[in-house]
Amino acid sequence: MTIREELLSMKKGSIKDVIYSNGIARSTKQLERIDDDEFFVHDFSCGWMTASLTTEEAVLYVKGKLESFDLEWF
């Protein structure tokens, strides 16, 4: 199953962990499906920050091709 298919198979309101590791450090974010084409990514590394993503942006984020600093956090 591709990342896109996995994200689209999530039920609205469900949350999955996204884990990044560079071999030394490990960072976990939560990806929550909000609507048909809207996801929230939750980051707890400096308090609680949330950013809204489309499905395509969520795919890029999970693949590591969309960086945290590219997102508009609220």
pLDDT of residue 21: 87
Residues whose CB falls within 8 Å of the CB of residue 61, separated by 6 or more in sequence, listed in order: 18, 31, 41, 53, 71
Q: How far apart are the first and last CA of the chain?
A: 31
- pLDDT surpassing 90 at residue 55: yes
Report which secondary-structure segment, H or E, holds 40: strand 38-43
CATH number at residue 7: 2.30.30
DSSP designation for 5 = H
pLDDT at 56: 97
Count of domains for the chain: 1
Residue range of the domain that includes 64: 3-70
pTM for the whole structure: 0.91
Walk across the sheet containing 38-43 and list its strands: 15-21, 26-35, 38-43, 49-53
pLDDT value, residue 22: 85
**pLDDT score at 23:** 86
| pLDDT tens-place string over residues 8-47 | 999 999 999 999 888 898 889 999 999 999 999 999 988 9
